[in-house]
Chain A
Amino acid sequence: MYNFEFNRPTDLSAAVDALRGDGAQALGGGQTLIPVLKQRLAAPTTLVDLTGIESLKGIRRMGDMLVIGGGTTHGAVAASGDVAAAIPGLVELASKIGDPQVRNRGTIGGSLANNDPAACYPAAALALGATIETNQRKIEADDFFQGLYATSLEEGEVITAVHFPIPTASTYQKFEQPASRFSLTSIFLAKMSDGSVRVGVTGAGADGVFRHEGLEQALGSNFSASAVDGVSVAAEGMSNDLHGTPEYRANLVKVMTKRAVEALS
Chain B
Amino acid sequence: MATISMTVNGKQVSGEAQGNTLLVEFLREELKMTGTHVGCDTSQCGACVVHVNGESVKSCTTFVSALDGAEVTTIEGMANDDGTLGVIQQAFQDEHGLQCGFCTPGMVMTIADMLNNNPQPTEAEIREGLKGNICRCTGYHNIVKAAQSAAATLSGAKQAAE
Contacts and interface: CB of A to CB of B under 8 A. Distances in A.
A and B found bound together? yes
B61 interface: yes
A202 B73 CA distance: 36
A195 interface: no
Nearest to A102: B132
B43 A52 contact: no
B65 A98 contact: no
B65 to A, nearest CB: 4
In terms of DSSP, what is the predominant structure of the interface of chain A? Answer: mixed
Interface string A2-44: 1111101000000000000000000100110011011000000
A52 B110 contact: no
23 contacts: A2-B20, A4-B20, A6-B19, A6-B65, A30-B66, A34-B61, A34-B63, A35-B42, A35-B43, A35-B61, A38-B42, A47-B19, A51-B66, A75-B55, A98-B131, A100-B56, A100-B110, A100-B114, A101-B57, A104-B52, A105-B57, A105-B61, A105-B62
Contact of B131 (A34, A100, A105): A100
Interface string A94-119: 00001111101100000000000000
Nearest to B2: A6
Given A30-B66, A99-B132, A101-B49, 5 more contacts: A6-B2, A31-B61, A34-B43, A35-B42, A99-B46
Given A30-B63, A52-B66, A3 B57 contact: no
Interface string B97-125: 00000000000001001100000000000
A2 B18 CA distance: 11
Nearest to A104: B55
Interface of B: 2, 18-20, 22, 41-43, 46, 49, 52, 55-58, 61-63, 65-66, 68, 110, 113-114, 129, 131-133
Contacts of B19: 3-6, 47
A96 to B, nearest CB: 10
A183 B83 CA distance: 44
Contacts of A52: 66
A181 B134 CA distance: 14
A6 B65 CA distance: 7
Given A34-B43, A38-B42, A181-B131, A49 B66 contact: yes
Contacts of B46: 99, 101
Interface of A: 1-6, 8, 27, 30-31, 34-35, 37-38, 47, 49, 51-52, 75, 98-102, 104-105, 181
Contacts of B58: 101-102, 105
A98 B62 CA distance: 16
A167 B62 CA distance: 35
B50 to A, nearest CB: 10
Contacts of B66: 6, 8, 27, 30, 49, 51-52
A103 to B, nearest CB: 9
Across chains A and B, which 3 residue pairs bring their CB atoms closest together, nearest first? A99-B132, A6-B19, A6-B65
Contacts of A35: 42-43, 61
Nearest to A75: B55
Contact of A100 (B2, B52, B113): B113
A34 B66 CA distance: 12
A52 B46 CA distance: 25
Most buried by B among A8, A99, A105: A99
B20 A98 contact: no
Given A37-B20, A38-B41, A98 B63 contact: no
Nearest to A37: B20
Contacts of B62: 30, 34, 105
Nearest to A95: B128
A5 B1 CA distance: 9
A98 B42 contact: no
